[in-house]
Amino acid sequence: AHLDRIDAVDPKVHAYLHVDRDGALAQAAEADRRRSAGEDVAALTGVPIAVKDVVTTKGLPTTAGSRILQGWIPPYDATLVTRLKQAGMPILGKTNMDEFAMGSSTEHSAYGPTRNPWDLERIPGGSGGGSAAAVGAHLAPLAIGTDTGGSIRQPASVTGTVGAKPTYGGVSRYGLIALASSLDQAGPCTRTVLDSALLHEVIGGHDPMDSTSIDAPVPPVVEAARRADVTGLRIGIVRELTGDGYAPDVQRRFDEAVALLTDRGAEIVEVSCPHFEQALAAYYLILPSEASSNLAKFDAMRYGLRVGPEGVERPSAEQVMAATRDAGFGDEVKRRIILGTYALSAGYYDAYYGQAQKVRTLVARDFAAAFEQADVLVSPTAPTTAFKLGDKLDDPMAMYRNDIATIPANLAGIPGLSVPAGLGDDGLPVGFQVLAPATRDELMYGVGAALE
């Protein structure tokens, strides 16, 4: 049914870059066989899923939304894909995204934008707009996203879906094409909080292939989502992530959700995180720095595209490398490679990268202090509802500012969840963000489920 719906609807939405009809049907048949043979199957066995194209899938094209990886077929599965397969979840296909996960609108995909199912003239968020749109348009019941600065939560916010970024290290990064290794985290994109928790259980947990993977059991997220209990919980409103800069209708839906949590027995406190004002600037130095290093491996020799420089008869390796990277990377990727290389260069390192790392520590300390006053923190997920395609494409700073509320969690490595909080005055979805202390992911699922 999902494959048929993809055929009918996806030409308009463009959530998928690749659909694996035969593979998905074979995996579904295998899940049926396991169930009817009376095997001990998981809750999600047989439930199909879409996977963001930054996650390697053995035998299936994986481009990360970039021309430089056109035609590359990975020889191995990411650990999270292995776990989906072990759980018997058929993989429907790979979803569209901003190139190498850089962006907030999916307009930076080399393969054309994804559209928001609520209004095809609007963006589905980014970088994981394909996964969110697929789930929102019922082109998949579940999807995998990755969140380096908000790419699971912000697309969830603008498509009226649920998006969960686990604690850093909670889901293996092995087989994820790295954007910024100290910030990247994979997680669920779903329509309900319980679905996210169930999926989190499947993909989470320790992996010896990822040195930053947490060596502890998955937090009790499913139980918390089922209980949906906020009685006596101290919920902190982050002063710096509300009010000014947030659209009035977004702010109203946020206030209503907070009132609902009060009705359900939560206690509301206000907290201040003074260094969040510098978080965006720090993120946009740390991310490009790490990205410039991670993207150095796309050298025309090892993966995907190879372009010979025009008019050169016997080009050197360096000339091929330069021509390939020029043709293979889009503008946003080049912008960040240049920025990151500059920030890391001798003489500038202390002034930029070094300073940004200090701000990162201050942001983490702000969180630590706030979590002494509150069990979880809340804010709107994004400052506005979905903007129009093209609106911010020529204004990188405006695009970056859209991440103001999601970025602090990545800098500190803490988990974050976005749940729908009704519609704005324009009839488009508004998202509500819940943040929890590191490794306490279950707390955010409990609060999110209480709002459903």
Residues that bind ligand GLN (CB under 6 A): 101-104, 127, 147-151, 179, 287, 403
Please answer whether residues 356 and 407 qualify as being in contact, where contact means their C-beta atoms are separated by less than 8 angstroms. Answer: no
Contact indicator for 322, 332 with CB cutoff of 8 Å? no
Rounded to a whole number of angstroms, the minimum distance from the CB of residue 287 to ligand GLN is 5
Whether 17 contacts 111, CB under 8 Å = yes
131 is catalytic: no
Marked catalytic residue, from 66, 105, 109, 151? 151
Q: What is the Cα–Cα distance from 201 to 217, expressed in whole angstroms?
A: 10
Instruction: Tell me the C-alpha distance between 40 and 45, whole Å.
Output: 10
Residue 150 or residue 420: which is nearer to ligand GLN going by CB? 150
Q: How far is the CB of 381 from ligand GLN (least distance, A)?
A: 12
Least separation in angstroms between CB 88 and ligand GLN:
29
Residue 102 CB, shortest distance to ligand GLN, in Å, is 5
CB of 182 within 8 A of CB of 286?
Answer: yes
Catalytic residue among 66, 104, 105, 127: 127
130-161 b/e with 16+ CB inside 10 Å = b?
Answer: bbbbbbbbebbbbbbbbbbbbbbbbbbbbbbb
Closest approach, Cβ 172 to ligand GLN, in A, equals 17
58 annotated active-site: no
Q: Which is nearer to ligand GLN, 179 or 233 (CB)?
A: 179
Chain position whose Cβ is nearest to ligand GLN: 151
Least gap, CB of 294 to ligand GLN (angstroms): 12
Rank residues 10 and 98 by Cβ distance to ligand GLN and give the closer one. 98
Known active-site residue 151: yes
What is the nearest approach in angstroms of ligand GLN to the Cβ of residue 346? 26
Nearer to ligand GLN, 324 or 433 (CB): 433
What separation in angstroms does the CA of 37 have from each of 27, 30, 42, 202, 254?
Answer: 15, 10, 14, 22, 48
Q: 185: number of CA atoms within 13 Å, CB side?
A: 35
Q: Give the side-chain half-sphere CA count within 13 A for 180.
A: 26
Q: How far is the CB of 265 from ligand GLN (least distance, A)?
A: 33
When the beta carbons of 41 and 281 are compared against ligand GLN, the nearer one is 281
**Minimum CB–partner distance for residue 345 and ligand GLN (Å):** 21
CB-neighbour burial class of residue 394 (10 A; exposed 0-12, middle 13-18, buried 19+): exposed
Instruction: Identify which of residues 104 and 109 has a Cβ nearer to ligand GLN in the complex.
Output: 104
Nearer CB in complex with ligand GLN: 382/436: 382
Could you say which of 52, 94, 165, 392 is catalytic? 52
CB nearer to ligand GLN: give 57 or 104.
Answer: 104
Q: 102 or 194: whose CB is closer to ligand GLN?
A: 102
**Buried/exposed 274-308: b ≥16 CB within 10 Å, e otherwise:** ebbebbbebbbbbbbbbbbbbbeebbbeebbbbbe
Catalytic residues: 52, 127, 151
